Amino acid sequence: MIPHMAKAHLLAAVLAAWALPTSAQNQLREPYQLQQMDMHLHAGLELETPLDRWLDAAAADGRRVVVLLDHLELYRKTAAEYRDWLLQRPAFVTRYPMGPAGRQALMRDFAKAREHRGLTVFTAWEVSEDELDTGTEMDVLAQVDLVGWHISPRNGKQPPDGKHLIRRASQLRELQQKLPVPMILFHPFTMRVENLERTAQREGRPISSITTAQYRFFQPGEQRELADLLRGRSIYIEIARESAHCMENPACREAMIADIQPLAELGVRFTVSTDAHGLRHAQLPFRPESYCKPLGVTPANTNPLVQELLARRPRPAAPRTP
């Protein structure tokens, strides 16, 4: 509970901010530091701890703004499939029905989460990129603050690359004509790394045999093409926490800097996240500055999504004049 005096101060501050023009309001908002933002935090069927404790832990670890989400496809199981899935995952504590009832229950819990005192909470669905080809559930996606598109490693197949991401970005632009919400391309770069490293392991080659040229995501000209598609649009690229792993390997680091830094210079905007699904993830350190700084990913080019989401929030009713 907020003490009475603090409440009065809060109200005064809100009313004062309300009277200011929008540009002045934006200046009042301090940008979030990278480690204060988690724009991809799983908080649905895979939770291993009650949601309120999960949020408390995020706040205690320094987060101030979070995007809560779950994988949309998890709710498409039959009741029997869900039962089997849970049997293999005894640590999961959340229980929702499958289908629309489960999605609604999740949204009710997310609505309650918005009351958390230490966190600004937004909501999302994580959707498989394949649904950009096959079609998706537009009415469901219209109910959240933003949509994150899961770029897959496509293990055992061609890894994601520049051409692939350019195609996905074009599809998002097209989709936003019908569904005008912010969208994020989730973890494209680290999914390429995962594919290459798993392939090497499968073929009995050491990770150190993968060259910078093989790690490189983009071919010449592709970064400009992608930036031209994204500039001025509400489409962001996630810089995943696994980037830290890549930055420890000189060949991977060199490729990642060559891939991402020019995008930042061309005006592409990013997000940072833990992509934490459960307790094991939550115990890993989240130090995005360590890998973001050399990539050119900064508070300046990661705060725009937060600003956009805040601006899209329904405005409180204007105070009544007597």
Residues that bind Zn ion (CB under 5 A): 126, 275
Query: Which two structure tokens, joined as six digits, stand for 138?
Result: 């537009």
Q: Which is nearer to Zn ion, 126 or 259 (CB)?
A: 126
CB of 230 to Zn ion, least distance (A): 21
Query: Which stretch of DSSP H or E encloses residue 272?
Result: strand 270-272
Taking CB atoms within 8 Å and a gap of at least 24, the contacts of 308-317 are 308/182, 308/234, 309/122, 309/145, 309/146, 309/182, 310/29, 310/120, 311/22, 312/145, 312/182, 316/14, 316/18
68 or 210: whose CB is closer to Zn ion?
68
Nearer to Zn ion, 126 or 197 (CB): 126
Q: Note the maximum CA span of the chain.
A: 77
In the complex, residue closest to Zn ion by CB: 275
Using DSSP's 3-state secondary structure scheme, residue 235 falls into strand
Residue 38 contacts residue 67 (beta carbons within 8 Å): yes
Backbone dihedral region for residue 109 (phi beyond 0: left; psi -120 to 50: alpha; all else: beta) = alpha
Distance CA 192, CA 216 (A): 9
* Six token digits for residue 47: 């939770």
Nearer to Zn ion, 194 or 275 (CB): 275
Question: Smallest gap, in angstroms, from Cβ of residue 214 to Zn ion?
Answer: 26
Nearer to Zn ion, 191 or 210 (CB): 191
C-beta of residue 178 within 8 angstroms of C-beta of residue 138: yes
* Minimum distance from residue 238 beta carbon to Zn ion (Å): 9
Shortest Å, Cβ 291 to Zn ion: 18
* Pick 18 or 85: Cβ nearer Zn ion: 85
**Least spacing, CB of residue 69 vs Zn ion, in Å:** 7
Nearest alpha-carbon partner for 260 in 129, 151, 158, 162? 162
CB of 219 to Zn ion, least distance (A): 27
Q: Which is nearer to Zn ion, 144 or 210 (CB)?
A: 144
Q: What is the nearest approach in angstroms of Zn ion to the Cβ of residue 215? A: 22
Cβ–Cβ < 8 Å for 301, 264: yes
Give me the amino acid identity at 168: R
- Residue with smaller CB distance to Zn ion, 124 or 175: 124
**Distance separating alpha carbons of residues 17 and 13, to the nearest angstrom:** 6
CB 46, min distance to Zn ion, A:
10
Classify strands 146-150 and 120-128 as parallel, antiparallel or unpaired: parallel
